[in-house]
């Protein structure tokens, strides 16, 4: 049996401990990334649901996101300016999409649009 020096044994032990800690941190990082993705997905779902779109409008918005024709503006809306911004925004999703040059491939029938405007 080969006898190693104390110094070499200590270094080998430290290497083994460091590798174990690295493996633990990698597992922890992987779990954190999974949690981040789940929370991002929840935020996306909340945002989409808060838009209160009907089925056709939702399909149009999702298609424009997938096609890359939806424009996203950086930054968020802080609560102090939210009221002012809503006054400047168009009244319907169709108007917003039209202003951004986006219209869903499937058009919403006129009678449905008329019914919605009466509400």
Q: Which tokens is 9 given?
A: 């044994």
Residues 16 and 59 in one domain: no
Q: Domain span at residue 36?
A: 1-50
38 versus 66: the higher-pLDDT residue is: 38
Residues 28 and 59 in one domain: no
Residues 30 and 40 in one domain: yes
- Backbone dihedral region of 34: left (phi > 0), alpha (psi from -120 to 50 degrees) or beta? alpha
- Number of structural domains found in the chain: 2
Per residue in 57-113, pLDDT (tens digit) is: 888 888 988 898 877 776 554 444 444 444 444 455 555 555 555 554 445 555 555
**pLDDT value, residue 99:** 53
pTM score above 0.75: no
How many Cβ atoms sit within 10 Å of the Cβ of residue 97? 19
Residue 101 forms part of a structural domain: yes
Residues 16 and 61 in one domain: no
Q: Which tokens is 7 given?
A: 């110094």
Residues 59 and 105 in one domain: yes
Residues 60 and 21 in one domain: no
- Could you tell me where the DSSP H helices lie in 6-92? 6-50, 55-67, 79-88
Residue 75 forms part of a structural domain: no
Residue 17 forms part of a structural domain: yes
Residues 63 and 103 in one domain: yes
Residues 45 and 56 in one domain: no
| Confidence label for 21 from pLDDT (cuts 50, 70 and 90) | very high
């Amino acid at each position: 049996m080969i006898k190693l020096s104390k110094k070499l044994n200590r270094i080998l032990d430290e290497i083994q401990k460091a590798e174990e800690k690295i493996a633990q941190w990698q597992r922890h990082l992987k779990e954190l990334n999974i949690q981040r993705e789940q929370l991002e997905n929840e935020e996306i779902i909340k945002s989409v649901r808060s838009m209160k779109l009907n089925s056709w409008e939702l399909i149009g918005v999702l298609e424009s996101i997938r096609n890359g024709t939806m424009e996203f503006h950086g930054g968020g809306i802080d609560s102090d300016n939210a009221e002012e911004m809503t006054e400047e925004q168009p009244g319907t999703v169709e108007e917003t999409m039209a202003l951004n040059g986006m219209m869903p491939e499937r058009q919403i029938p006129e009678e449905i649009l008329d019914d919605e405007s009466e509400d």
